[in-house]
Amino acid sequence: MEPMPENDFRKTPRAALKMLYTLLFSLLPLAWIEQDAIALYWRQIHHKDAPLEFLKRFSIWRSGARLNDAPARLKTSLTSEVSRFDEWAISTFNARPGADKPERLALAVPPENPESHWPQEKLELKLSRFIMERFPPTVDNKAGNHLDSGEAATAMEAPSGGAVRLSGADKVLFIGDSLMQGIAPYVNAGLYKRHAIRSFDLSKQSTGLAYPAFFNWPSQVKKTFLEKPDIKLMVVFLGPNDPWDFPHPQGNPYLKFGSENWETVYRGRIRELLETAQKNGARVLWLAPPCMRKKELNMRMAYLSGLFSDEVKNSREFFLPTGSIVGCDSERFASFMDSGGKKIKARSDDGIHFTLAGQKKIANEILSFIHIVPREAAQ
Amino acid sequence: MSFLSIEFWAVFPFFLCVYWLSAPRPDIQNALLLLASYGLLVLFDFRFALFIAAYTILTHILSHLIHRYPEKKFFFVLSIIASLSCLATLKYHEFFRSAVQELLEKTGAGLSLPGLELIVPLGISFYTFHSISYLVSVRKREIVPASLPDYALFLAFFPSLISGPINRARDFLPQIQTASPRAASDPCKALTLLLLALVKVAWLGAALLENWIKPVFNNPPEFHSLDILLAAYAYSIQLYLNFSGYTDLVTGIALLLGFTLPVNFNAPYLASNLQEFWRRWHISLSLFMRDYVYVPLGGSRRGTLRALRNVVLTMLVSGLWHGANFTFLLWGTIHGAGMVLRELAGRFFEKPLIENRLLASALTFHFVCFAWVVFRCPTLSDSLCFFDALVRNFDAPPLRFNAVFYLGVFALAFIAYPRTSRLPEYAAEKLRTVHWSLRPLILAPLVWITITLSPSGIPEFIYAAF
């Protein structure tokens, strides 16, 4: 940078021009090289083609995307090398003399004791016990019996009328968007604390079924079931990122949200998820999106919930509307839910996500839906 | 719109073009900045823009009254009450409502307090403090009240609107009020800061979050103690990378606009005690707390006990400022208690307890690191669950991350850290030696490599939630 006296009126535009040149010519090559990522992002966020998409007709523009191939390959191979090293180091550590075997943990909680609150019940520190008694843990340990009270049973429109039965060795898979990211940790923690059941939380913000080029849940789920065949329950929470036009799978123009073609494609993707789980011997619990503060989004969510409900019922799986759990329905948005005569804030200010209390309430409903039985009974 | 989003960087260069074409007229540049700042708020929610406009007008009128009637303290007190009431009502109403609700329940009163459907305006925590600094400066006669557009821009200046740094009126207003043309005085520093922000937030911070922090904090009992320790360290590092990276980003953006924002970080994990940590971490907040909470409370003027009480109270306020949650209060108290203990130890022992600076830094880092666990966990039980698993899970479950190796990497990074803290300045110096026309040839590949290495998605800024 050439030294420039501040406030030099004549030189200011020149210095600014140089700065703009540097900025623009640092960014433009990136727009060229990262064109595919930008196009996907733009579709996902703005539901239309990216502004520079028209340049795709020129082969010189398209060639930019190919520049990404080599670094992407390098990244993949580096990542796999690092993973290999990590796995070697982890297995060496775990195989050290005196190390416990992984099974020990599962054995620590007998499956016939569903009320066991491991590890809380083993807390010996007086301070911990004192505080635990006064500030209950994130997941309400009493939630396991909710189904018996009929509360969850009314919310559930499940054909088999019962709950998912898992053994201590089974695993649970969570897929969904940012709503699931808020809930899955509490279900995961509850299952682990009570039954030493391990879960896999794949939820990822901004994802849905509308833009598989951005994130493809059906193929991700297939891959996950191949790698982890002991998953026996898949919990799905999708929708708020989907109520938009999306490109036709065969590359035709955009399908209009709610149109017949749109619905056919979307239903197909719901079914694909359900069928993958069923083929792998897993049950599905599908959570429907709650009411939304914005009217348009709320109406669209109600429509999507109808599709989810139809397909889930046809597949004889379990469907759980989340709105009623946090005190609202598609007719009326409410931030607060009633809990024992008290008003508790269940929704965050954006009118889409849940507060901590809302997340815990839904997590408890999901937990109440899972019954732990001996391995033979689960099968 | 995130400052790291494609949309922002698709629009911002064009804005810069128009902005610098108006260089001879800073007043037009100010109008453009004000328009952009309000436009940004409208993109989130038009009510955010309406609220800040109303807040600006209210505090602006009060500032004129303070200036006009210097002998009357009433207007100053009223203005501070008005500012804090807005913040308290909008940000903390639910916190106080649920606390009172709990209290009523404990006392047996069967009352259900109605919940208010209020939303927290974006950036309110920051612009409330901006306005307080302005009102205090007007009261102290350090500045005269600014014109309404200048004051509106001071509150809404978009680079520091969402997550700071917290600007002081007497330092920042003159930059707005300048009559002489602004200069893009250090583009190399600005561009280096932008690149650094990308490396810190989008790559390193996001990778730590994705790989270790999220899984472990979601359910600590599932992990081996070493994995949990790794996640605790990783969170301390990620929080620093995320927030200091955000500060680098907005400082770089402000520099591109010809503005200088206050320094917010100075290698905080090199601090050898908590006082020093707070002189290095979120400096603009620490200085604000010192000048507008600690000193008015009496500071250290009325004996040791009062000074210690003031430290704890200041840290409590600082904790609560971060969020309407008891865990933030607890986190502030832990820091306050740590400072009190250190102060007491200093009075009882003539020599410092730990003379080795590296050891003192390591101890301070661990204190701060474990306090961050309380800061991150949504409830106290979750924090306890984390610490319980940390001290118990040495035998089972098995290790799931390569914690032994990466803990070693962290230790090496900690030792090398003092040498790397000047790296950004060094990089900017090197960039200055390159001819301006060739700079994109260096910057574009570096940005490309960073993007390639980063996990997918637009990273979130942790402090945007405060």
CATH, residue A301: 3.40.50.1110
Owning domain of residue A193: 107-378
CA dihedral B12→B16→B19→B23, nearest 10 degrees, is 160
CA-to-CA distance for A188 and A186, rounded, in angstroms? 5
CB A232 within 8 A of CB A289: no
Q: How many domains does chain A have?
A: 2
Provide the pLDDT confidence category of residue A123 given band limits of 50, 70 and 90. Answer: very low
Whether residues A237 and A338 fall in one domain: yes
Contact check, Cβ <8 Å, B402/A89: yes
Is B112 in contact with A99 (Cβ distance < 8 A)?
A: no
How far is Cα A119 from Cα A109, in angstroms, rounded to an integer? 9
User: What number of C-beta contacts closer than 8 Å exist between A and B?
Assistant: 198
Give dist(CA A168, CA A184) in Å, integer: 18
Digit-coded pLDDT (tens) for A95-114: 987 665 544 443 333 333 33
The reported pLDDT for the residue numbered A108 is 37
pLDDT, tens digit, for every residue of A18-40? 999 999 999 999 999 999 999 98
More confident residue, B466 or B418: B418
- pLDDT over 70 percentage in chain A: 78
CB B180, CB B213: distance < 8 Å:
no
Average pLDDT over residues A361-375: 88
So what's the pLDDT on residue A376? Answer: 63
Q: Say if residue A249's pLDDT is above 90.
A: no
User: Active site includes B322?
Assistant: yes
Residue A44 has pLDDT above 90, yes or no: no
Mean pLDDT check: name the lowest of B242-256, B408-422, B437-451: B408-422
Touching check for A125 and chain B: CB below 8 Å?
yes
The pLDDT value recorded for residue A132 is 39
How much is the pLDDT for B430?
A: 94
pLDDT score for B419 = 85
* Biggest alpha carbon–alpha carbon distance for chain A: 85
Whether residues A157 and A304 fall in one domain: yes
Q: Which of B168, B138, B131 is nearest to B52 (CA)?
A: B131
Most confident of the ranges A116-125, A249-258, B111-120, B371-380: B371-380
According to the model, what pLDDT value does residue A167 have?
A: 86
Q: Is residue A219 part of a domain?
A: yes
Asked if B261 and B164 touch (Cβ cutoff 8 Å), the reply is: no
> How is the beta sheet containing A318-321 ordered, strand by strand?
A199-201, A171-176, A231-237, A283-288, A318-321
A268-327 residues touching B, CB cutoff 8 A: none
Please answer yes or no on whether A7 and B395 come within 8 Å at the CB atom: no
Task: Enumerate residues 6+ apart whose C-beta is below 8 A from A277.
Answer: A221, A225, A234, A283, A284, A317
Q: What is the pTM of this model?
A: 0.86
Residue A277: the pLDDT is 97
Cβ contact B51:A61 at 8 Å: no
Segment A259-272 shows an average pLDDT of 96
Q: Is the pLDDT of residue B296 over 80?
A: yes
What pLDDT digit, counting tens, does each position of A294-331 carry?
A: 999 999 999 999 999 999 999 999 999 999 999 888 78
Q: How far is CA A52 from CA A24, A25, A28, B403, B440, in A?
A: 15, 16, 11, 44, 21
**Of the ranges A155-159, B142-146, B188-192, B251-255, which one carries the lowest mean pLDDT score?**
A155-159
Q: Test B110 with A341 for CB contact under 8 angstroms.
A: yes
* Cα–Cα dist B408/A19, whole Å: 41
State how far residue A346 is from chain B, nearest Cα, in angstroms: 11
Instruction: Supply the DSSP symbol for B41.
Output: H
Q: Is the per-residue pLDDT at A151 higher than 80?
A: no
- Quick one: pLDDT at residue A100? 55
Please give the pLDDT value at position B103: 85
Q: Which of B181, B184, B187 sits opposite A9 (nearest CB)?
A: B181
**Comparing C-alpha atoms, which of B160, B153, B158, B207 is closest to residue B176?**
B153
**pLDDT at A243 exceeding the cut of 70:** yes
Q: What is the chain B residue with the closest CA to A132?
A: B381
Contact assignment for B219 to A204 by CB distance below 8 Å:
no
**Residues of chain A contacting B105 with CB distance shorter than 8 Å:** 342
Q: Which of B282, B322, B335, B435 is catalytic?
A: B322
What is the per-residue pLDDT for A379?
Answer: 52
Residue A95 belongs to a domain? no
Instruction: For residue range B196-249, list pLDDT tens digits in order.
Output: 999 999 999 999 999 999 999 998 999 999 999 999 999 999 999 999 999 999
Is A5 inside any structural domain? no
Average pLDDT over residues B427-443: 95
Give yes or no for residue A154 having a pLDDT over 50: no
According to DSSP, the residues that pair with A319 across neighbouring strands are: A286
Q: Taking CB atoms and an 8 Å cutoff, what residues of chain A touch B24?
A: 9, 12
Judge whether A90 lies within some domain: no
Residue A258 counted as domain residue: yes
Are A133 and A43 in the same domain?
A: no
Note whether A137 and A25 are same-domain residues.
no
How far apart CA B310 and CA B322 sit, in angstroms, is: 19
**Chain A residues with CB-CB distance to B21 below 8 A:** 13
Please report which confidence band the pLDDT of residue A378 belongs to, taking 50, 70 and 90 as the band edges. Answer: low
- Averaged pLDDT, A173-182: 96
> How far apart, in whole angstroms, are the C-alpha atoms of residue B118 and residue A22?
44
The answer to whether residue A21 is domain-embedded is: yes
- pLDDT, residue A9, reads 45
pLDDT in tens, A45-93: 898 889 998 999 999 999 999 998 899 899 999 999 999 999 999 999 9
Rounded-to-integer distance, Cα A367 and Cα B10, Å: 45
Q: Is residue A287 domain-shared with residue A351, that is, in the same domain? A: yes
- Does A38 fall in a domain? yes
With CA atoms as reference, the chain B residue closest to A40 would be B457
Question: B465 pLDDT band (50/70/90 cuts)?
Answer: confident
Same domain (yes/no): A121, A20: no
* pLDDT averaged over every residue in chain B: 93
Question: What percent of chain A clears pLDDT 90, i.e. is strictly above it?
Answer: 56
Quick one: A177 and A251 in the same domain? Answer: yes
- β-strand partners of A175: A236
Tokens in use for B107? 């006392």
- Strands of A171-247, DSSP E: 171-176, 199-201, 231-237, 246-247
- Asked whether residue A297 is domain-assigned, the answer is yes
- Residue A11 banded pLDDT, cuts 50, 70, 90: low
Q: How far is CA A174 from CA A157, A305, B223, B457, in A?
A: 20, 18, 19, 19
- Does one domain contain both A30 and A124? no
User: Side chain identity at B39, as an amino acid letter?
Assistant: G
Same domain, yes or no, for A222 and A162?
Answer: yes
Please list, in sequence order, all residues whose beta carbon lies within 8 angstroms of the beta carbon of residue B77, skipping any fewer than 6 positions away.
Answer: none
pLDDT tens per residue, range A330-354: 788 989 998 877 888 999 988 999 9
Per-residue confidence (pLDDT) for residue A355, from 0 to 100: 92
B444–A30: do the CB atoms touch at under 8 Å?
yes
Helix, strand, or coil (residue A302): helix
Residues of chain A positioned with their CB less than 8 A from the CB of B191 = 22-23, 26
Distance CA B199, CA B451 (A): 8
A45 in the same domain as A113: no
Task: Write a three-state SS string for A47-93.
Answer: CCCCHHHHHHHCHHHHHHHHCCHHHHHHHHHHHHHHHHHHHHHHHHH
For A102-170, list the strands marked E by DSSP: 164-166
A293 and A162 in a common domain: yes
Specify the pLDDT at position A131: 38
Contacts of B2 in chain A (CB under 8 A): none
Residues A63 and A205 in one domain: no
- Please judge whether B443 and A42 are an interchain contact, meaning their C-beta atoms are less than 8 angstroms apart: no
The gap between the terminal CA atoms of chain B, to the nearest Å, is 17
